[in-house]
Amino acid sequence: MAAIEPFRFDSSASITRFTGLSADNLRALLRGIERASGASIYYHVFNALFRRHFTASEYMNDFARWTWYTLHERPLAEKMAVVDPTACATIGEARQALAKVISEQLGDIEFISHVRSDLRFHFQEAQTFVFSTGIEARDPRDFADKVRLVPPDVIFHHFVAAPMRLGRRENDFSAWLRGQGAEELAGRIDALSPYSGDLYALRERISELARL
């Protein structure tokens, strides 16, 4: 009988840089989203979800935030904020969803306002590095104990970043638990959303479900 593979808790860190792309109006923002690298879309949409848990912000992604606070296009910003990165299996899906929302809005606008150079949206991109925390879980009950010990960046990595990188919708926790035969628990954890609260609350909820 093959040995059961433990769950290895990893984390990730990102280094960011400016890409040289910028936008001073809504049409330029759309062009930037269509042309920016996948690493840039990741930074402004997926990594923004992680940063949200440590800063006060009403909107989830950087594009929606700039559209509201700088362009003062609140209805559009709300539509852009609805684009859920955790529901996108790939960066391309997130890019297409955002571009569609902006394109539809542009079709209803007769005059497009521009902002000053110092208020431009500057596209950045992230290079991500994955590293081990050294923490492992042997089984679902051990997982319930260990998941409470890891910092929030580990929760973000396994719940958002890693699934996106691998092009799947299921988070790492649920995928491993299914392999242990814990189908019901895997489904409950997979139904959780990072949008429902902060990463600390998400960690506690995952641990609670694993203890049931």
Closest residue by Cα to residue 147 from 81, 111, 192: 192
Q: Which of 2-11, 54-63, 98-107, 113-122 has the lowest mean pLDDT?
A: 54-63
User: Is 190:174 a contact under the CB 8 Å cutoff?
Assistant: yes
Answer whether residue 58 shows pLDDT above 60.
no
Give the three-state DSSP class for 177.
helix
Distance CA 114, CA 123 (A): 17
Answer whether residue 53 shows pLDDT above 60.
no
- Spans of all domains in the chain: 13-125, 132-211
pTM over the 0.85 mark: no
Closest residue by Cα to residue 202 from 165, 177, 180, 171: 171
> Quick one: DSSP state of residue 130?
E
Query: pLDDT band for position 107 (50/70/90)?
Result: confident
Phi, psi of 170, rounded to the nearest 5 degrees: -80, 135
pLDDT of the residue at 90: 83
**1-11 residue pLDDT tens:** 344 789 999 99
